[in-house]
Amino acid sequence: MIALNNDEEQRIYLAPPLTDDEGDRELQDENAHLLDVESADAETGTTFRMPVWLRESSSSFRWTWVPLPLRKAGRATARWIKGPDPPHDLLFQPLFPKFQELPVRFLDRYAPRKAHKVTLLLSVYVLWLLPWFITLVKSNSSGRIEGFGRPQAISCTASYWSAGNGCGLNGNDCRPFSASHFAFRCPANCRSVILQKEQTIGNQTLNYQSLVVGGPEPDSSDPGIYRADSFICQAAIHAGVVSDSAGGCSVVKLNGAAHSFPSSKRNGITSTGFSSTFPKSFSFVPLSDGQATCPADPRWPLLGITVAAVALISIFTVSPAAFYFSTFGLLILHVGVVSDPPNLPTLTDLFSILLSRLLPASFIVYVLYLYAARPLLERVSHPGYQLEKTILYLTPAFIGALNNYTFALWIPLQRLTPHDLQNQPGAKAALSVVVSVIMVIVLSQAWLIRQAGLMPRYLIVYLSFVAFLLFLLSLPGLRLRIHHYILAMLLMPGTVIPTRASYVYQGLLLGLFINGVARWGFASIVETPAALGEDPTTPGGWWGASYPNITNSSVSIHLDTAPSTIMPYNDEIYSGNGNITFYLWERQRMENLGVDGISILLNDVERWRGYLDEDRTGKFTWRRQGRRGLELVEYRGIDFDVQNENDDHDDFPFTALNDDLQPRSVDRGTHMDIDTDGDKDEPQDLFFRFAFLRGAQAGHYGGAGVWLKDGRWLDPPPQKKPDP
């Protein structure tokens, strides 16, 4: 008997008896290193391992080509991954178990049978649903504003105007512009809503902020005028007619065109200024005391009802399935309809879209229950864990489900995309903190998984996840997006170790999954650059990320030098009035991009569409005569006998006038509105933006070129990246 003591093996080795007729074939047996030595009673045997140095000296050993240091490192790594033998039981010991058992003992005393418990569980569901649903319906159906009727519920992002050319040529798809009232009701917490995609106001690019344009002058008590593309509810908070914490009701009035929108900060919202004319604006009708009856937003009372129901189920049930699926069901209904619903106006729309998401979400939650939740919750199914389970699991579950009140406010990072990381203020710092915290949690969980002897199987699972994500990341023309519901699905399997931290992590991940699905649906894990509004970065990128190249050579300006003869009643000359002409066609470039034409926004309103097959010259001219033509108001019955000598019809295709002052143009839009108000002749800054067209679809509009009121032209910023 030889006792070995080296770095490779510390085991007892019993040499087998050798015989003279033992051949090479027997020595080469791959299993020869396992020797059975009979015990004294000859009924059981004990297996001993042959020393590594002797086993690897056998001619049958297949890894001799690997250097010995690497083999030693590999063996050490494999032993470390397998973990301790036997594995450690990491279940935490409950605090005051006798006290925590009291709810279950009480239930067992008065409802000892399973049928009794099922009946009580169903009763809790009913007792939760009745006040929850009645309060919700009453809140949405009640309320009245005298003289305007019942207010209609709108979302936080509701507005009268769509970005880009969403309102069509001359804004015709967003009419009427004036003479309209609308009684509305806003939900709570609208102030925190921010833009998720860039939106341009004049020559200002807004992103990751509220969208309110205009309002009262600073330090003024007069009611403010807001541009029509402002979020109505945020404008109402800015104006002080609606509360952010409780929502509220008011009446909005359309005012038609307005000629200046000052910037101001009120009630926690800073509005954006715009120094030119926009054809549609609104203000809020002052209401007298008692004129409006508007119940407060019910989300906080309803949250209390939901918390009470889920906590009651958790405290009195020891069934992992009853606890887990009750938590999921009640929370997803609450989030999808009350606390963080999609931006839909009616309650029926909210229920409809929630039910469409509920079935696939239920399947995913069931799979997560089988492989993540049940192994964890079964370990605390003893009554002595009731209160700790409730606190450790449900508290982070509600924090994750109420993401719009928690992480969305705490972490300035909306989407994990390169564009957001580069442009959102504080995003990089927030990401570094989040990644650091996640890495600490992952490493701590990995250590616990090893201690439990589960590391080999989890390595296979998570290496498969990583390989799949790397494959998606390599797909050309697509961007990988890890939504928080996907993050929850990826990380929940790693929370099966029964420690207090694991219950916190799994509850939080379940809440994030519920919030992501109920609020945003099953958004794709990969998205196109067009969907994310990105510029082209690789060949084959989105054609619409390119836009027309407008330089000094493609712009011609002719300013008035004499009193206007087209407006003979006004003899005052403003040096900035005149014509600006754009020469737009880049035929070879447009052919390479596969586009058909160009769209032009003037002051963020689409005023012209031109197509290569219809327009031979690709020339667009705008006549500036103060703010005339910007209000999109048509006047008939006024004829002019003469025309400005600088404006012939060949150089002025867009604004050529017929006898009744209607524009002679195919799909071009309205130019002139006639008013004898002399102040209208004072020029304003004009903002031009250009985009390519493919059929009726417009691409991304580039930055604004500005025709200053003194007649100077500022080129739009050039395209940053090459065409796809």
pLDDT (tens digit, 9 = 90+) per residue, 496-549?
999 999 999 999 999 999 999 999 999 899 988 767 766 554 445 678 888 999
Q: Can you list the residues of the chain whose pLDDT is less than 50? A: 1-15, 18, 20-45, 537-539, 563-571, 635-678
- Give me the pLDDT at residue 634, please: 55
- Give me the pLDDT at residue 59, please: 59
**pTM reported for the whole predicted model:** 0.78
Q: Which DSSP state fits 92?
A: P
Q: Which pLDDT tens digit goes with each residue over 490-503?
A: 999 999 999 999 99
What sign does the CA torsion over 462, 467, 470, 476 have? negative
Among candidate residues 371, 321, 323, the one with its CA nearest the CA of residue 493: 371
**Cβ count near 242 (within 10 Å):** 27
- Give me the pLDDT at residue 459, please: 93
Dist. CA 191–CA 268, nearest whole Å: 8
Is residue 233 within 8 A of residue 156, CB to CB? The reply is yes
Query: What Rg value do the Cα atoms of the chain yield, rounded?
Result: 36
Dist. CA 13–CA 445, nearest whole Å: 38
The one-letter amino acid at 594: G
Dist. CA 556–CA 560, nearest whole Å: 13
- Give me the pLDDT at residue 22, please: 45
Is residue 219 within 8 A of residue 208, CB to CB? The reply is no
Dist. CA 399–CA 391, nearest whole Å: 12
CA distances from 65 to 56, 60, 469 (A): 11, 12, 34
Residue 533's region, left for phi above 0, alpha for psi from -120 to 50, else beta, is: left
Look up residue 35 and give its two tokens. 């020797």
Q: Where in the chain is the domain with CATH 2.170.130.20?
A: 147-293
Q: What is the CATH number of domain 147-293?
A: 2.170.130.20
Look up residue 419 and give its two tokens. 């564009």
Q: Which pLDDT tens digit goes with each residue over 105-131?
A: 999 999 999 999 999 999 999 999 999
